Structure 1
Amino acid sequence: MTRRADRRLRPERESHFDTRSKGVIFSAGGALPLLLIAVLEPTFLRPGTLPILVGIVVFTVVTVGFTVRVGTLTDRQFTVLGSGGMLGVAVCAFLIADPSGARAVTAMLAVVPALAASGSPRRVTLSLTGAAVILAVALSINGAEGVVRYVAAGAAVTTVIVPALLIAAMRTSLESVTERLETLANTDPLTGLLNRRGMLPEVEALLARACLTRKAVVVSLVDVDHFKAVNDTRGHAAGDDVLTTVAEAIARQVPSDAVVARLGGEEFLVLRVAATVTGLEEHILEAVRSSCDVTVSIGVAQADVRPGSADAVVDVETTLDRLTYAADRALYTAKTSGRDRVAFALEDPVEWPLGGISSRRDRLEVLRRGAS
């Protein structure tokens, strides 16, 4: 393999493991030094408990091997391996003869809840954290007397809960920031509609839905008439108000499963799945007239969507550009015919592969997204 090919493949290898799986691999190695110490220093463990430690080490090796093999653990796999790992830590702590060594090993019970907080659902995190707290408290108060028992129990609870809480808070904050950045990247800041980048996944789902339902895709280009004159005579602030008002008028008229986006400038795009072209565009014209003192021209193209080869590579951007170009021709007709009107065009059928949604569950999900 050449160096160039190796560089191309390296990102895929690095992304094979998620953070949670990497944590399981690295943290599972904690039992191996215990076995080495127990062999070198027989008094380190309680008498006759070395075979139990060997069994824990075997489970650790199996955990590491399984995680390396699957790469990214499912929630169920992580729960099973994490629970087994915590039980192994608790048993190791109990096997150690020196109380100070046992307390040091007990602190490792905080690892699994912290890993769960980094990437598991809340119910998994809460259940593993609760189990870790119970084990840590039981091990900490074992052999302690009087007030020391309560101090040891409090320290054990703190050791387990604080890292999990901190990581959960960091994860929530990161997800919130990521969501805001994604919203900014996918929407037009002026109108709040989708931009081209944001609408591509929605268009892909819409094409799949049209293919499944054997309906057509209707593409409407809405362009504000004489918008340059608005900016030149009334200023750009007034132009922004016009664009916002037109966007709101369009959004009020389209069905909930339609894709509405601002392409840029004074041009808006509406895509929907429909058996036939209805009077939606006329309603948009009237809504704009009643909302502000401008008019719009609309070009509409309709294309049937047929199932294509599952092996075919179809670019959603190329398909969208083809449909938009057909609607743009109709928009030109509306403009040259006097503006403030709708013009229609028919486009040749579009093929869309359904290889990625071949299962019944995936098909239902596509249809559900259209109905929501």
Structure 2
Amino acid sequence: MRAEASTAARKGAFIAVAVALFCIQLDFFALNLAIPGIAAELGVTVSAAQWTLSAYMLAIGCFFIIGGRVGDVFGRRGTLLAGTTLFTAGTVGCALAPGLGPLVVARIAQGVGAAFVFPVAVSVITNTFPEESRAKALGGVFGVANIGTAIGPFVGGGFTEGPGWRWIFWLMAPLSLLSLLTALAYVPDSRDAAAPRELDVLGCALIVGALAALTLTVERADAWGWSSARVFLAPALLVALSGPLGARLGRHMRPTTVMALAGIGAGTGMYALTQVSAWWLYVPVFAWCGLGLGLGWTYASVATQQLVAPARAGEASGVLLTFLVTGGAIALAGTAAGISAITPQRSPEEAYDVILRLGGVAVLATALLVLAVRRRVAAQGRTR
């Protein structure tokens, strides 16, 4: 069920969704650099402080699918408001937390709220904007969100070294409240009219349990002794441009072609990073790599929303995000284990280069395979 959205509703929905996703991206990428400061202030070990990240990832990874489906079944407006409210409350709780326990609980609240916001936010845009401007709107939303990704490390490091890590959350609290009030005023409701107004509770429980076990394992693998390596991989440069760029490319190329180009950019960038040493050359190569990775992340959502029925947009977004986040966590754990296995024979720098080269070749090979398959499918008369 979709109501015809006015121009004001579309603008309001765009602002509400873009600001909410900006806060979610900023939240995660800023806190990575705040862990030592949190540990020092709260009087705990760095390993214990890592639970502020693990708890968030555990919560967000487990509830992506459920959040998207709840929005489709019971209404996306209400689900977006509930998720934003929970995220905002968790943000304030993090800023005020007197110890590690309350901070972890508040981070779980943030994670669950974000898991409801992210897939529903994408489906809100899908169901608010007409088909001819939908991809552009999604690209703009992810462009704003990716700014949070790009500046997150600078915000986290700057606040931790300056007024303190709690100001990361005090920065996000009014922004989250702005998103909530804008959504309350402008976001229209929509839902899957064909779906019964009930959820598969047992199925939801099984999803949460399975994903919780998997996410907990890969997120805490390092602390539990699988490896002692710490990974730095946050290609922020140019990533904010990937949203609008993906939308623009999507108007002239097939989705598979855009995704393949993203893989080619990321793969060649990862491999090239191991071949340069001068900072003036490293920066543009790093930017190229970040653009490819950001474009792949962004356009995965844009392309998915172009292919599924708007009534099931939230469910589709939730499934995609669960796959991306869980797959990324597994890849990160595998990377750490690989570096740990290599370092007895090689220096850490050489180990990082080996992993980057292998990853770059794998991504590049996959992208070329996608192009080959798409060409064969097109030759058989199919559109995708």
Give TM-score, length-normalised by structure 1: 0.23
Q: Which has the higher contact order (CA 8 A, sep 6+)?
A: 2
Give TM-score, length-normalised by structure 2: 0.22
Higher helix share: 2
Higher strand share: 1
